Structure 1
Amino acid sequence: MKLAPRDLPGFVARPEPGRAGILLYGADAMRVSLRRQALLKALVGEKGDEEMRLTRLHGPDLRRDPAALMDAMKAISMYPGPRAVHVDAATDQAAPAITAALGDWREGDAVLVVTAGSLGAKSALRKAFEGHRNAYAAGIYDDPPDRAEIEALLRSAGIAEVGRDAMSDLTDLSRAVDPGDFAQIVEKLALYKHGDASPITPEDLAAVAPATTEAEIDALLHAVAEAEVARIPPLVARLSGQGEGAVRLCIGAVMHFRRLYTAAIDPGGPAAGISRARPPVFGPARNRMIRQAQSWGAPKLETALSILTETDLALRSSQKAPQMALMERALIRLAMLNAQR
């Protein structure tokens, strides 16, 4: 039988008893792997129990030894509790052995969990599971996780309460990064809040989320956007001493001011525009950029982007002027542009 994508999270969290097995397939190996990990954990427990009641087989090996799967499904464990057999990297070449094992499945046999890559509608593997009245075939696609999936991941990590703004940030982040990276961020968040029962805040997420730029480049760009002219020369000098190049600073400035411009012209206002930024902006930095977009306004931001475009062309030309001095002058021009109220 086919298992609809909307029903898969529920099945993974609470596998239906008495099912012969499930096929998880999809082009994104990480998404398939995460579903498989969660399902096996629900079936046979944590790692200690897993080693006792889980048998792992490699799909290509079943072509040479098809009986190995049947033996694993029928084996009687010395340990109490449900058993599972996982066949990884399965292809249609393993379909005869898998079809035979499903056809001979009886109550008390191990649950068969098969993972595969992208499979067409005519795949023998898909037909084996879709045509079985007691097994599921579930396609896993590149859709971002929904609210229920995010909440399930948080519960699994031991995170009980998340503030409304933080949940909005988490949803944005889940759409911007790979699922494996998102799961790691949730784990880091759980460690960061260990022993603290207060709800997750945007500031907590900002503390563990991947940084989009180095801290000192970020500080420089905020100083420029907030017209803090006196801070610009020492920050530029420090970055230059650390080996940062003028072209990289210019690229970072273009990205920052382009975000501000996009936010400033958003029909829903700067807050809505910043919330749509990719990669997402979290915590205090988000509120700071909203204020910057409001302060500058679209006309001035257009001028700022023109100045940065001219600077970028000058940096990449054959002119002899010192590049970092050229970049510093452009940043000071930008800061003074916004200082002119």
Structure 2
Amino acid sequence: MKLSGRDAARYFTRPDPDRAGVLLFGADAMRVALKRQELIANLLGPNAEEEMRLTRMMAGELRSDPAALADAVKARGFFPGPRVVFVEDAADGLADTIKAALSDWAEGDAQLVVTARQLTPRSALRKLFEGHANALAIGIYDDPPGRDEIEAMLTKAGLPLPDSTAMGALTDLALALDPGDFSQTVEKLSLFKLNDPAPLTPEDIAACAPASVEGEADALIHAVAEGKAAEIGPMLRRLQAQGVTPVTLCITATRQYRALHAAASDPEGPARGIGRLRPPVHFKSRDRMVRQAQNLGVAKLEQGLGLLIDTDLTLRSAQKAPQMAVMERALIRLAMLGARRG
């Protein structure tokens, strides 16, 4: 049987323990591995490794000893509970071996979880699982996680579901990152908010985003705050090529302009204000941001924040203008604001 879309997403969170086997296949090995981990964890629960209820087998092992798979599926463990035999990196050459194990499967046997690279509809392995009455085939594609998947990840990490603005920021980040980096970001958020009962905010998300995305985005916003309009286009093109979205850039810019506004408003001056910011500003950016706050001043920073709020609303609306063009125009206007004296 073939499973896809929301049915597949729901299955990973609540898998059927009475299935004979599940095939997961896809071009991105990381995406397949993450889904396999989720599936096995939800099938077996905690302590499966310690209780030897999970048997791992490489495809190469089975080519030299085909009978080992059926033996592993039939084996009875010392500890009670469901069992899984996991076969990694299978290909069509193992179709007959896996078919024999599935044909002989009976209630109480270990469930067979098989992962593979991208398989065409003609693949013998794929046809085997799709045509089996008690097995599933699930394709793992390069689509970013949807809202349901992100909510499930947040719940698993012990984070409350955020409002629409923060959820939008997470969705944009999921578009910009590969699955492993996004999963790590959610874990980092759970630690970041461990003793903080306040709802998740876009600023929290931006603070926990990986440096690979955040670093270049921050460099762009520094250039904007310093009035370097000529640098915006080339930097924006590089970020766009990396998959960074306009909403992510707007969140990054808003976060920095709010920090600059807080510093510029400090009664003891911008330098003291930068030092009070939480989370702390990286030491490499401190002097630079002090100069930006001094140059822009409270009035210009308030103008800039107003522009960014309007831009964010435009980006999240149903308007048809190209979003990156909207963001680029806003950044140029901010840079012009920073370049003007007085």
TM-score of the superposition, structure 2-length normalised?
0.70
Q: 1:286 to 1:186 in 2, by over 3 A?
A: same
Secondary structure of the 2:49 match is helix
Deviations 1:239-291 (A, max 9, x none): xxxxxxxxxx975x4356789xx9xxxxxxxxxxxx95176443663684764
Matched, 1:49 2:59: no
Contact kept, 8 Å, 1:12 with 1:39, in 2: the verdict is yes
Q: Write the distance in 2 (CA, Å) between the matches of 1:71 and 1:206.
A: 50
Instruction: Work out whether residues 221 and 256 of structure 1, in 8 Å CA contact, stay in contact via their aligned partners in 2.
Output: no
Q: Aligned partner of 1:254: which letter?
A: G
Is the Cα–Cα contact under 8 Å of residues 23 and 138 in structure 2 kept in the other structure? yes
The separation in 2 between residues aligned to 1:145 and 1:123, in whole angstroms, is 26
Given that 1:57 and 1:88 are in contact with CA atoms closer than 8 Å, whether structure 2 keeps it comes out as: yes
Count of residues in correspondence between the two structures: 272
Distance 1:276 1:89, change over 3 A: closer
Distance 1:78 1:337, change over 3 A: closer
C-alpha contact 1:26 1:139 (8 A) present in aligned 2: yes
CA contact (8 A) 1:205 1:283 kept: no
2:224–2:338: 8 Å Cα contact kept in structure 1? Answer: no
Q: Give the partner amino acid of 1:178.
A: D
**In 2, Cα distance between equivalents of 1:175 and 1:34:** 16
Aligned residue for 2:5, secondary structure, equals coil
Alignment of 1:143-292 (within 5 A): 143-211=143-211, 212-213=214-215, 217=219, 220-225=222-227, 251=231, 253-255=232-234, 276-277=245-246, 280-282=249-251, 285=254, 288=257, 291=306
1:1-341 alignment, distance < 5 Å: 1-46=1-46, 48-51=47-50, 52-211=52-211, 212-213=214-215, 217=219, 220-225=222-227, 251=231, 253-255=232-234, 276-277=245-246, 280-282=249-251, 285=254, 288=257, 291=306, 335=336, 339=340
- Is the alpha carbon distance of 1:15 and 1:216 closer, same or farther for their aligned partners in structure 2, counting shifts above 3 Å? closer
Instruction: Provide TM-score, normalisation by structure 1.
Output: 0.70
Larger radius of gyration: 1
Q: Distance in 1 between matches of 2:15 and 2:87?
A: 18
Deviation at 1:165, TM superposition (A): 1.2
Asked if the contact 1:44/1:82 (under 8 Å) is kept, the reply is yes
Unaligned runs of 5+ in 2: 258-303, 312-324
Supply the RMSD in Å over aligned alpha carbons: 3.4
Q: Could you tell me how far 1:99 is from its partner in structure 2? A: 0.5
Deviations 1:170-203 (A, max 9, x none): 0111111111110010000001111222211111
Per-residue CA distance 1:123-145 (angstroms, 9 max, x = gap) = 11111111110000111111111
SS in 1 for 2:48: helix
Q: In 2 relative to 1, CA 258–88 (structure 1 residues): closer, same or farther, beyond 3 Å?
A: closer
**Residue 114 of structure 1: how far off its partner (Å):** 0.2
